Amino acid sequence: MSTLLVWREKLQRIYALYSIYIQKTLQFVTGLVLFWSINSNIGFMKPASSVFCTLGMAVICTFLPMTVTVLAATALILVHFYALSLPIALVALVFFILMYIFYFRFTPKKAWLVVLSGLAFSLKIPFIIPVAFGLLGSPVWIVPASCGIVTYYMADYVKASATVLKEADATGIAVNLMRFTKQVLASKEMWLMVMTVMIGILVVNFIRTRGVDHSWKIASAAGAAVCVVVSAAGNVILSTNISYIEIILSAVLGAAAGLVFELLFFSVDYSRTENVQFEDDEYYYYVKAVPKVGVAVPEKKVKRITENQPQATTVIGEEAEQEILDQGNLRRRFGKKSRKIETEMDADEILLTRSLSKELGLEKEKSE
């Protein structure tokens, strides 16, 4: 666990240093996958489905707000619908206008939610959406999730009925137009998935906001289980053709994604939980404090052993030189004192010897 926390701290440091580059890279990859998915599934207009068009749109949208990516994806879908049938494109335009009225009303700055919702359904992992949106957002995120689901099923129906819609005559166009509208509005599978995702987001968000230990883990598991139960029950009751393997696999991936999100955004130590009570003039307060888990990233110390170490040698040489100078000063200082003492001792001995010689008369004998 500590290793994972260390990696999280490293990722946070990297993101803090290169956040703009990481965001633009993710935006480019998201746009590229989105446009590629649209062109590969409903690529009725060949020029718009080319690699150069897909790559060019992804590059352009990288340097613009995410809302532009959503609008570009909508325009690309309408262009493909127009290449198939003009009435289908007009009806789809009406649906998009209605959806975006709700989107811009409730979540105008969450364009990436619409993109992620549509991509998750396109990649056959739809139940990652309720777990992720419930953990990281609020119940309002149901609106962009629903927009992405409706868009996916509308494009999927056009793809499945492309031959019939394209070969219809003037009379058949009106019939197909009514059938398309009815299919989109009365699709059992689409509304079942909208209901499943909505219930999953509400359950996950409700449990995640409770003050219980391990609320994120419980919310992820409960949300995945609720999605499986609701979708499986609806599949039986409404006689839809949703794959049970897809349901189970998507739920497992959703629960695993919840654990990853908890590690990245909500790592706490429940063993050190504190319950605090205090009051003021009007209220009593009961506070549950759970400390975050944080680890220090170990710093690597590299010691280079080479023949020439200019910096290390310089530092060591200065210290050694200073020590030698200090020792030399001490020696000179004490050497001068010792020589002075010796000189004074010699002078005293000479004087003492002379005085004794005078008293004993030895100095006269020497002179004679």
- The pTM of the full predicted model, rounded to 2 decimals, is 0.72
Beta partners for 284? 279
Is the pLDDT confidence value at 365 over 70? no
Q: Are 102 and 143 in contact (CB under 8 A)?
A: yes
Q: Are 110 and 144 in contact (CB under 8 A)?
A: yes
Which tens digits make up the pLDDT trace of 306-322?
Answer: 655 554 444 444 555 55
Q: How far apart are the first and last CA of the chain?
A: 108
d(CA 215, CA 127): 19
d(CA 104, CA 92): 18
Structure token pair of residue 162: 């492309």
Residues present in the chain in total: 368
d(CA 147, CA 197): 12
The string of DSSP letters for 213-229 reads TTHHHHHHHHHHHHHHH
Which tens digits make up the pLDDT trace of 68-126?
Answer: 888 899 999 999 888 887 878 888 888 888 888 877 777 777 778 888 888 898 888 89
